Amino acid sequence: MPGVVDGRSRKRHLPGVLREDSDDELGTEDLPWEWIYANEPDTEENNGRKRKRATWQDGQIIGARNGNFECYLGDTMLLKADSSNEAWVGIICEFQEDEEGEMAANFMWFSSPNEIRSAKKRTDYVENELYITTSFDVNALSTINGKAHVMSQQAFMNEFPTGKVPRKSKEYGKVFVCRRGCNTRTCTYTEEFIWEDIYHGREDLEALQERLQKETKATRKKKPAKDESPERDYKFEADPEADGEYAPGVYRTPKKARIRDAVTPSSRHKKTGNKPATPSSHRRIVVKKHLEFTPLATRVLSPMHVHASPYQVARTQLHVASVPTSLPCRESEFSLVYSHLEAAITDGSGTCIYISGTPGTGKTATVREVVSHLDAAVRADELDDFIFVEINGMKITDPHQSYALLWEALKGQRVSPAQALDLLEREFSHPSPRRVPCVVLMDELDQLVTKNQGVMYNFFNWPGLRHSRLIVLAVANTMDLPERTLSNKISSRLGLTRITFPGYNHEQLMRIVQSRLEGVPGDIVDPDAIQFAARKVAAVSGDARRALDICRRAVELAEADAKVNDLSDDATPNTPTKTPARKKDESPQKKKKSSSGRVTIETVRRAINEATSNPLQQYLRSLPFASKLLLTALCLRIQRTGLAESTFGDVLEEMQRMLKLTVNESRPLKLLEKRATGQKGEGADDGTGLMITKGKQTGQLIRPAGLGSAAVDLTGAGIINLEGQRPERPSKMRLAVGDEEVRLAFRDDPEIKGVGVML
């Protein structure tokens, strides 16, 4: 049976106990199981039982037999785990057929202390100790490996005075101590009990369940306070020195992220009694433990921050790598993602949420914020525990590594991608006791899309499997990536929940930048300057990252001005004076001095110019027309498909579409023709390497030529990656620079503007 390790002769390892397999009980032959019914003719084996258990009704399945091995309702069994080295212990509560029609039983599980992930787990456990839990699961009888013997500590010590079961004993690996019950989701325990007093067999099952329910907490979920909102009154501060340290495929927040009290909480921010959720300082892959947070009490201001100038503080807070205090303009998206995740974690169900939006619209930031809040809820005992793992398509070289990363997050084991896939398939399609929900953030999903779309399909499909408890948050730039890559039929079957993040308008970008500047002393940034930057960015993209970058650069420029000022005039104060506060009698020269050192519209203009005149921008602008056309077509292709990788042939087709559209829409085709032909007549080359011929009958442009050499040149310059030495139609092709760089460079290019609909 899939999902069950069938190696009966293999040695297994119980948590804390190395044990031989139970071949002695089940034998080495693979005999079929058969039911034992209550009205079965008396046999030597069941006779006594039948008489003792008068409550059994005729025809009821009371046990199962495998050769000479028999087990009955209420018996405590050893089971084989499918993927790990552990064996499980559970009490048979009911016999039944499972979903696949296999003979199975519903087990009430024991849990070993090792399996309890919560920070609140007890530390006073003894060797071989198990807790009886409130978790049930149906498992096939073929997973039964023998019988377990559970007893009180006293009984155990009487039988094994050394406190250990001798290795040579037949009981080795089969004897356990139980003195408490535990709800493993809420990590709450019952009072200590004597096992022999509370459990003798099947007739005590109900009372045992009642005791567990009464004495442990079933769920942690509490309704969040009404005024709870994603905006809170605390700030995070990334240590710039710690920047840039990333593990492949896995996002890592800056190493020494710290928190400090908000300096000026905005009037909208109401203080709630709740402890703020904070992003992890080492949130890499969290393997069976809590996201790691620095406790509030130990969060300190860095000495750098205390002595920092207003410019330094502003630069740090505007940095895209710093975790913002709040996410203005994303309140509804936050609530949507939060409520979906919270519900899935509480119900123990799987779900897949597909989040799309253009770059810099706060998708990743919002998801991380939600996860931080959920983790805080876990720690405040309001939510059941969960595992979180982040897989970033940009940071793994092969999409199949996602499988290995997920498996590592679930089990803490490193295996190859192929092994991981196999293990995950088994894990999610079979019941298992005590599975903690796992939240997976799949960022930059388009990068993970392989040729056969297997990786994306699996991650979308697994949440729907009954036993997976997998919650996938897939983040991509295009809305219809699933439909494009998986077909409409499959993607509608998957039942994804979709959330779209719209681009920010200039007012929203202003609020975002302003919120990042909250608490910066010295009033060094003109509100007009922020508005100017926000308008410029919103006109092109609605990308918060770009707005923040421009404003940060403007602060750097103002800081440099202030330094020059300081050198030329020692009397100039370190913190620049606010422009309107100038004295009336100041000379024009003085006026100039006091405004330099302050971020004004002019400073922002300089920052924007710089951003558009870096060497890459200059290079892109100076490219021959053929190269520009090819890059434009590649960008359009990426934009349309949402996939980073295309083939040379795909890009040529995209160009055809683009040029036809230009003709149909009477775009400045004249200019294009003129540029292509140099007005020397049809089909002439103007020296750019591009030749455009007209279709004889239609008069439409159908065959741009000279693009092969453009592709080779662009590859040589590191602007694109192209498979193979020479471009063939199937050669794979992708951008090696950001598409926004290309967009920015060609935005005002009169020729490209005519053909590139995106620009």
Ligand X SMILES: Nc1ncnc2c1ncn2[C@@H]1O[C@H](COP(=O)(O)OP(=O)(O)OP(=O)(O)O)[C@@H](O)[C@H]1O
Residues found near ligand X in the complex (CB under 6 A): 320, 324, 327-330, 357, 359-365, 477, 512, 544-545, 548
Residue 188 contacts residue 112 (beta carbons within 8 Å): no
Secondary structure of 9-60 in HEC code, one letter for each residue: CCCEEECCEEECCCHHHHCCCCCCCEEEECCCCCCHHHHHHHHHCCCCCCCC
- Nearest to ligand X of 475, 719 (CB atom): 475
DSSP string, 609-670: HHHTSSHHHHHHHTS-HHHHHHHHHHHHHHHHH--S-EEHHHHHHHHHHHHHHHHHTT-SHH
Residue 544 contacts residue 509 (beta carbons within 8 Å): yes
Q: Which residue has the tokens 């970058």?
A: 549
Using CA atoms, how far residue 111 sits from 545, 608, 670, in Å, is 47, 60, 76
In angstroms, give the least distance from the CB of 18 to ligand X. 47
Task: Give the nearest residue (CB) to ligand X.
Answer: 362
- Nearest to ligand X of 279, 437 (CB atom): 279
Q: Are strands 103-111 and 129-140 parallel, antiparallel or unpaired?
A: antiparallel
Rounded to the nearest angstrom, the gap between the alpha carbon of residue 460 and the centroid of all alpha carbons in its chain is: 13
Q: Using alpha carbons, select from 467, 271, 210, 475 the residue that is nearest to residue 358.
A: 475
Residue 139 contacts residue 431 (beta carbons within 8 Å): yes
* Residue at 495: amino acid letter: G
CA gap 634, 735 in Å, rounded: 8
In angstroms, give the least distance from the CB of 327 to ligand X. 4
SS3 107: strand
DSSP string, 463-477: GGSTTT-EEEEEEES
Q: Are strands 646-647 and 732-735 parallel, antiparallel or unpaired?
A: antiparallel
DSSP H or E run through 66 = strand 61-66
SS3 202: helix
Tokens standing for residue 497: 């929940």
Dihedrals phi, psi of 734, to nearest 5 degrees: -150, 160
Beta bridge partners of 477: none
Q: Are strands 470-476 and 438-443 parallel, antiparallel or unpaired?
A: parallel
Tokens standing for residue 540: 């092109």
Of the CA atoms within 13 Å of residue 178, those in its CB half-sphere come to 28
- Nearest to ligand X of 363, 395 (CB atom): 363
First to last CA, the chain: 57
In angstroms, give the least distance from the CB of 459 to ligand X. 18
Write the CB contacts of 197 (distance below 8 Å, at least 6 apart in sequence). 152
Q: Which residue has the tokens 């907490």?
A: 217
| Dihedral-angle region of residue 329 (phi above 0 means left; psi in -120 to 50 means alpha; beta otherwise) | left
Tokens standing for residue 177: 């101590």
Tokens standing for residue 430: 């079979």
Residue 657 contacts residue 756 (beta carbons within 8 Å): no
In angstroms, give the least distance from the CB of 501 to ligand X. 6
